[in-house]
Amino acid sequence: MATKFRGANWLQKNDFAPQIFLFRNLETGQVLYSQLPEFSDYQIKKQFQRPNWENRRPKTRPDIWRIMAVANFPTYESSIKAFESLVHLRTLRDVVTKDVAMKYRPKNEDNHIWYSGQFRPVYTQEAVADLNNVIQHIGSKTTIFWEDEWRKGDSSHWKPELVQHETMNRTGTRIQSALLDELRVKGRELFQKASREENTRKQKREADRARKARRKAAVQAEQTEQPTV
C-alpha cells in the first residue's frame, strides 16, 4: 500500500487517519516520512534523491527502522499538506540548497558531517525541526506521539497552542507492527473526536447565524409596521 502518494479519499476509504509516521534509521540516523504505518522503496527513492557517502540511500530492511514519532492532524487536507511540505524541505536541503544546509550541520575536523560509525544525529534533529516548522506554517493543531519524550527537543521551540505532545505506550507492545497498528487506531479515534467537535462548532455557528437573522428580520418587521407620523 505504501507504494505511492495517497490522497484524502483513499486514506479515508481505507480507514487510515490523517497522520504522518516518522521512521528513524538505527544505523544512520536518517528519517523517513510516510502517510501510512509502513513504508517501501518508493518513499526511500522519493525522499533520498541525491545519495552520497554521507547520506547513502537506506535499505528497506525492517530491522534497522524504528518508529520515532507519529503526528496526528485534524483533517486529511492538513496532513497531506504537511507531508508534502516535509518531503519538499528534504529535497531543498539535500538537492536544491545543499551548500546552504551544509553550513549549519555540525562538522568534524575533516569538515564532514559529524558522525560516529555510520550514525549522523543531525538527520533526526533536522526532521524534528522541519516537523515543527511545517506545523507552525500550516497553523494546524497537532498531536504528536514520540517514542521518547526527549526526541522533541526543547519544549520552548514548540507552540503549545498548536502542538500537544504525548509519549507512545510501548508497555506490552514489543513488536513494532502491533505498536504501529495501535497508533493507527489511536489516530482514527483522535480524528473522529476532532470531527465531532468541529461538527458541534459548525452547528453552533449555524444556529447563531440563524438566531441573528431571525432577530434582524423581527426588528425590520417591527420598523415596517410602525405608523408614519
- Report the chain's mean pLDDT, rounded to a whole number: 89
- Over residues 118-146, the pLDDT tens digits come to 999 999 999 999 999 999 999 999 999 99
Residue 225 has what pLDDT? 73
pLDDT reading at 195 higher than 80: no
Q: What is the DSSP annotation of 146-191? A: ESSGGGG--GGGS-TTTEEEEE---TT--SHHHHHHHHHHHHHHHH
Look at residue 182 in the predicted model and tell me its pLDDT. 86
Distance of CA 138 to the CA centre of its chain: 11
Least confident of 28-37, 94-103, 181-190, 216-225: 216-225
Residue with cell 423581527: 218
Q: Is the pLDDT of residue 24 over 60?
A: yes
Q: What residue spans define the domains of the chain?
A: 8-225
pLDDT at 3: 64
